[in-house]
Amino acid sequence: MSEPTPNDNQQRLIESTEGIYRVDAGAGTGKTFAITRRYAHILESTDATPDDILLVTFTRNAAREMRERIVQQTDYDLRELQGAPISTFHAYCFRLLRRYGHTVPETLGIDDQIPDSIDLIEEPVREKQLFQRFMSTFADEHPEYADMLRMFRDPATLHTLIGELAAKGVIPTRDGWFRSSDAPLEGDREAFFETVADANSPGEGASGPTNSDARAAVGGWDASEYAPDSPSKAEVHDDPQVDRGVIERAYDEDRTALRTFVHDVYYEYLTFALRNNYLTQGLMLALAFVMLCDRPQVREQDAHEYVMVDEFQDTNELQFKIALLLAITNNLCVVGDWKQSIYGFQHTSVENITAFDDRLQRFTRELNADRTRIAYPVDSVTTIPLYENYRSSSSILAFAEQSLSIPATYSEDIDDPLAGERSLAATNHVDNAQIDAYQAPNEHELLLDRIQMVVDNDDYAVEVTDEPQPDPGATTAQQEAAERERLGAPSYGDIAVFTRTRAFAREFLTVVDEYGVPVAYDGGVELFDTPEAKLALAWLRIAESNARRGWAVVLERAGYSFDDTETILDTEAYPDAMVQFREELAAIDTLGGFLRRVFDRYGRTSAYADALVDHLTSLYENSTLTRGEAIQYIEANLDAGTTVDIETSPGEDAVTLQTIHGAKGLEYPIVILANLNDRAFPHYGQPPACPIIYDDELGLRQTRAYSEAGDYPHVYQHWPTKLLQSIQPSTYDEERRLLYVAMTRAKRHLLFTSGDDPSRFMDGLSIDAIELEPTPEPVTVARESTAPFVTTIPDSSTVPRRLSVHDIMDDSVYDERNGGRGTDFGTELHDFAEAYALDEPVEPSNDDERAVATLIDDLDGKLIPEEPALLPLPGEPQVTLAGIIDLVHVTDDSVEIIDYKTDPDRLAHDEYRTQLSVYYHVLASVYPDRPIQATVFYTQTATPVTIDPVSIDALDRLSRSRHA
């Protein structure tokens, strides 16, 4: 596909390579295109090499996409860019730290070094477990903090606070704070009292002044919640305001002890982590920052001539400073859109972009306080707005803009958020947008009803053909006509349903199942709450300790009644087949093998099973979980509701269902924003579980305090913090930005739904909701039954039996056929082939892999590696053959199956013919309109051999004879 021509501001950005730039890149304005073009331009117009250009993104996916786009636009190929610094903040800093930072902890007064083998923890559960362990030792070792610790219901909640402080750049040393980084703990007194001036000024009523907002907020002041010496209601109230003296007393209370406590926890946790050879992401970035501050030689070796940071609205203060340190010249370019900042709960700071200039000056001053670190000039910043939107129709853009000023509560006051900002301008010509809101007591049915209303409806026309490039000289009218030409009625795949919470999506999915509407959920799944996880947990418990709890689950699944189960458990007379299976499992060495055997036995080949095995076996780089640890791990994750991303089956024409967060960066022809219900969206935040809070205006504060001042020792609410907090107005800016993000995903049409209790956002839309009696129709599309679930042990003949294709092959022929090169050789080759087909940056490491690479290079259609295949056989009892196709190559007029074999000869070819025949029949049913070809590719000789498939009946007979 040819690249479009940049618009004026994109062109300006591409060519402006020297100096500091802040790019306001609104939704759908071709940001990635412009950045990668700019990258290419730097390479072309200067003598810089990829190593001189640092390109930082927020996610791994984004980094990968950038890399791929750059390959398209430069002479460099993926391999040459492999080592180039196009990376996430975390990955880049971790690499630097491991390369140069072994002794960095010394700078903070810590003896432990950072070894190469240090573990970077990504799973919140593990992080939390380790922190819990730390806190219990901390409590033991510090009796002097007993009172402080009494205010905690769960001391592990301090963990979040530490992460927040690290994101601020607050870093402890043994005796104090790194480079006076504790300043934010004090708070911003001036800013707070500006807030107070606003919130505490009386209103003007008809008959004189009315109570200020702050006074209203502390109206119900109840001194009995607080320690006995706290101010009374009368002292706090100074109608119509809050007593200024009391506010100051609260703000200026002595917080020395609190600060010391937090310092010690933070510092000792850092020590604990290093001693136990791990780091969290937050601590890792903090140490990388310390290294960059303290070791000029690291910057000399590794800082960059050009630095670009993408998604700058999702960075925190620490990352801003790290970016400054990674640049050696002022060729710095940050790209982002404050309106899409929705990760505040991850301690990001939208002010990095909204107050970019101020922060740039301030952070530079701070970094240069003791010696010059930022030697380049920072006083001139050029702002380039990208406002031409290539995604949505103009009515959608105009409609989305209002979302930023819809109040989230009945009393919220919003200043014009877009003051002075240029609106996005649509670039398409046909505006056929349908924008409507719907409401019904049963929102799930309503959603299905609306989906069915939209599908195949010409009023909701969307682009249905690939866009032919318009004649460059075409008139507007001609372009409009060409665009109209491309429009047609939508199908399921054109629709996305967004929700604020995952819970809503999950509930909706159960209703979806009842009606059979094709809806695919895209996002994290509570993996440890699936039947697969519970099954795995049960057998692990049985194998580990013959646990009653495990047996109960297994027996229940096998169909035993409650009473039978009780009897069996009491007598320990477990069914023979199960006992045998237990012994078989006990003999398996590896956790991965153990789990696979369990899932095989139950015929569980779902994505959940795969994900579980992957997850549990890849937790540690250098060691594996024992069974006991695996049990604990699953339990902890089940408890914590951990979610894991599962790959959804692509290709099906289905509605996409995801959370708004998950939809960021994506676009859909038709968006249905669901869940606009009271308290769901906008979501009214839950109070922080940790009694110690940090706030930019207030600094470090405690919300509870232990005191023995009253009749008996007691944990009280801490009045100063409560007073200050209630004076601060609550803000819902991020909820509005979420609304904005959701709406700007839509290209053509936008629908809203709510249940019987619509939220403020629903009310605030400039359209009225239509009340509807939903009448969704059950869909009776014959859907192939996926993953037959064999619930019983021992085998039952009433359910389809699943056989692996290998079960019906004669393995005596093909065992040891790889020429003594070891089974790993084949596995590695397959891994390589999969990665290569997916265009991942891998290089062939031997002749066989080179042969595969050449083969794949010659394929010009769609490549689908590692595709699961299921073939139901006709005979009785029912049997389904299952296997995985190495590679499917699909073009418009043909489909090719490719299976790699590392055998030195073709002795096993007949067996492979059987195997590929299975795949052949599966694909023949999926693509009835295209000829199918099945090829065994012998990698050692780079020879493709096409097979002549055997019939389904022959496969059926074979499977029954070989597996009676």
CA 212/CA 240 separation, integer angstroms:
6
Using rule CB under 7 A, residue 702 touches DNA: no
The piece of 3-11, 174-182, 622-630, 679-687 that touches DNA (CB under 7 A) is: 679-687
Q: Is 30 annotated as a binding residue?
A: yes
Stretches 35-43, 87-95, 767-775, 936-944: which one binds DNA (CB under 7 A)?
Answer: 87-95
Kindly state whether residue 501 participates in binding DNA, applying the rule CB under 7 A: yes
Q: Least distance from C-beta 640 to DNA, angstroms?
A: 10
Q: Which of 185, 192, 191 is nearest to 257 (CA)?
A: 185
Among 3, 77, 122, 144, interactor with DNA by CB under 7 A: 122
Residue 60 lies near DNA (rule: CB under 7 A): yes
Q: Which of 730, 786, 854, 891 binds DNA (CB under 7 A)?
A: 730
Q: Does 680 bind DNA (CB under 7 A)?
A: yes
Looking at 3, 18, 44, 61, which residue binds DNA (CB under 7 A)?
61
DSSP string spanning 741-810? HHHTTEEEEEEEEE-SSB-HHHHHSSSPEEE----PPPP---PPPPS-----SS--SSS-EEEEGGGGS-
Pick the closest to residue 279 from 114, 112, 99 (CA basis).
Answer: 114
User: Which is nearer to DNA, 560 or 732 (by Cβ)?
Assistant: 732
In this structure, which long-range contacts are made by residues 550-553, counting pairs with CB atoms below 8 Å and at least 24 apart in sequence? none
- Is 510 near DNA (CB under 7 A)? no
- Provide the minimum distance between the beta carbon of 219 and DNA in the complex, in angstroms, as a whole number: 4
Query: Near DNA by CB under 7 A, which window of 22-30, 211-219, 454-462, 617-625?
Result: 211-219
CB-based contact 448:511 (threshold 8 Å): yes
SS (HEC) of 44-78: HHCCCCHHHEEEEECCHHHHHHHHHHHHHHCCCCC
Stretch that binds DNA, among 326-334, 541-549, 724-732, 794-802 (CB under 7 A): 724-732
By CB under 7 A, is residue 143 in contact with DNA? no
Q: Among residues 50, 490, 603, 662, which is the contact residue for DNA, using CB under 7 A? A: 662
Can residue 823 be called a binding residue for DNA (CB under 7 A)? Answer: no
**Quick one: tokens of 943?**
């020879």
Classify residue 750 by burial, with Cβ atoms within 10 Å: 0-12, 13-18, 19+: buried
Q: Should residue 679 be labelled a site residue for DNA when binding is judged by CB under 7 A?
A: yes
Q: How far apart are CA 231 and CA 95, in angstroms?
A: 53
With respect to DNA, which residue has the nearer C-beta, 562 or 684?
684
Single out the residue of 122, 189, 92 nearest to residue 697, CA to CA. Answer: 189
What are the Cα distances from residue 369, in Å, to 174, 180, 297, 374? 21, 10, 19, 10
User: Is 505 annotated as contributing to ligand binding?
Assistant: no
CA 370 distance to own-chain centroid = 39
Nearer to DNA, 726 or 902 (CB): 726
The SS3 assignment for 701 reads strand
Contact 343, 660 (CB under 8 A): no
Determine whether the annotation assigns residue 747 to a binding site.
Answer: no
Residues 359-398 that bind DNA (CB under 7 A): none
Answer for which of 19, 184, 385, 524 binds DNA (CB under 7 A) is 524
Q: Is residue 409 a contact point for DNA (CB under 7 A)? A: yes
Q: Does 665 sit near DNA (CB under 7 A)?
A: no
Does 643 bind DNA (CB under 7 A)? Our answer is yes
- Count CA atoms within 13 Å of residue 434 on its CB side: 19
Name the residue nearer to DNA (CB basis): 128 or 850.
128
The residues, any chain, with a CB within 8 Å of residue 741's CB and separated by 6 or more, are 27, 339, 340, 342, 660, 663, 664
| Residue from the set 1, 143, 190, 220 that interacts with DNA by CB under 7 A | 220
Q: Decide whether 505 or 585 has the Cβ nearer to DNA.
A: 505
Nearest Cα to Cα of residue 698 among 720, 717, 714: 720
Has 29 been labeled as part of a binding site?
yes
Residue 109 near DNA by CB under 7 A: no
Q: At its nearest, how many Å lie between DNA and the CB of residue 687?
A: 4
550 is in an annotated binding site: no
The values of phi and psi at residue 700, to 5°, are -85, 130
Residue 684 binds to DNA (criterion: CB under 7 A): yes
Q: List beta partners, residue 897.
A: 888, 934
Q: Which range, of 456-464, 723-731, 785-793, 806-814, touches DNA by CB under 7 A?
A: 723-731
Residue 27 annotated in ligand binding: yes
Crossing angle between the packed helical segments 256-275 and 158-168, to the nearest 10 degrees:
90
Our finding on whether 614 is near DNA (CB under 7 A) is no
The Cβ of residue 917 has, within 10 Å, a number of other Cβ atoms equal to 24
707 binds DNA (CB under 7 A): no
Give the number of residues in contact with DNA, rule: CB under 7 A.
55
Q: What is the nearest approach in angstroms of DNA to the Cβ of residue 266? A: 18
User: Cβ of residue 704: shortest distance to DNA, in angstroms?
Assistant: 8
The answer to whether residue 725 forms part of the interface with DNA (CB under 7 A) is: yes
- Sole binder of DNA in the list 191, 418, 425, 503 (CB under 7 A): 503
Taking CB under 7 A as the rule, does residue 841 contact DNA?
no
**C-alpha R_g of the chain:** 31
**Member of 219, 377, 931, 944 binding DNA (CB under 7 A):** 219
883 binds DNA (CB under 7 A): no
Report CA-CA distances (Å) from 816 to 58, 304, 588, 902, 914. 46, 52, 22, 11, 19
- Annotated ligand binding at 28? The verdict is yes
Q: Binding of DNA at residue 615 (CB under 7 A)?
A: no
Q: Is 241 in the site for DNA (CB under 7 A)?
A: no
Q: Which residue has tokens 């205006």?
A: 697
Among 523, 603, 774, 872, binds DNA (CB under 7 A): 523
Q: Is 819 flagged in the annotation as binding?
A: no
CB 42 within 8 A of CB 306: yes
In the set 9, 74, 181, 211, which binds DNA (CB under 7 A)? 211
Q: How far is the CB of 362 from DNA (least distance, A)?
A: 25
Please identify which residue in the block is written with the tokens 């012994």. 583
Task: Kindly report the number of other CB atoms within 10 A of residue 497's CB atom.
Answer: 28
Of these, 74, 230, 281, 341, which contacts DNA (CB under 7 A)? 281
Select from 659, 744, 902, 935 the one that contacts DNA (CB under 7 A). Answer: 659
- Non-local CB neighbours of 341 within 8 Å, separated by 6+ positions: 313, 314, 348, 350, 353, 734, 737
Q: Kindly state the DSSP code that residue 405 receives in the 8-state scheme.
A: G
Structure tokens at 817: 């056929």
Answer whether 348's CB lies under 8 Å from 315's CB. yes
The yes or no reply on residue 410 touching DNA (CB under 7 A) is: yes
Segment interacting with DNA, rule: CB under 7 A, options 22-30, 106-114, 340-348, 458-466: 340-348
Q: Which of residues 752-781 bind DNA (CB under 7 A)?
A: 760
Q: Is 461 helix (H, G, I), strand (E, B) or coil?
A: coil
Binding residue for DNA, selected from 206, 375, 419, 782, defined by CB under 7 A: 206
Note whether 683 binds DNA by CB under 7 A. Answer: yes
The neighbour count for residue 210, using CB atoms within 10 Å, is 14
Give every CB contact of residue 586 below 8 A, 6+ residues apart in sequence.
543
Query: With CB under 7 A as the contact rule, which of the stretches 257-265, 405-413, 466-474, 776-784 interacts with DNA?
Result: 405-413
Binding-site residue numbers are 25-32
- Interface with DNA by CB under 7 A: which residues? 58-61, 88-91, 122, 124, 203, 205-206, 210-211, 215-216, 219-220, 240, 281, 342-343, 345-346, 409-411, 500-503, 523-524, 643, 645, 658-659, 661-662, 678-680, 683-687, 703, 717, 722, 725-726, 730, 760
Annotated binding site for ATP: 25-32
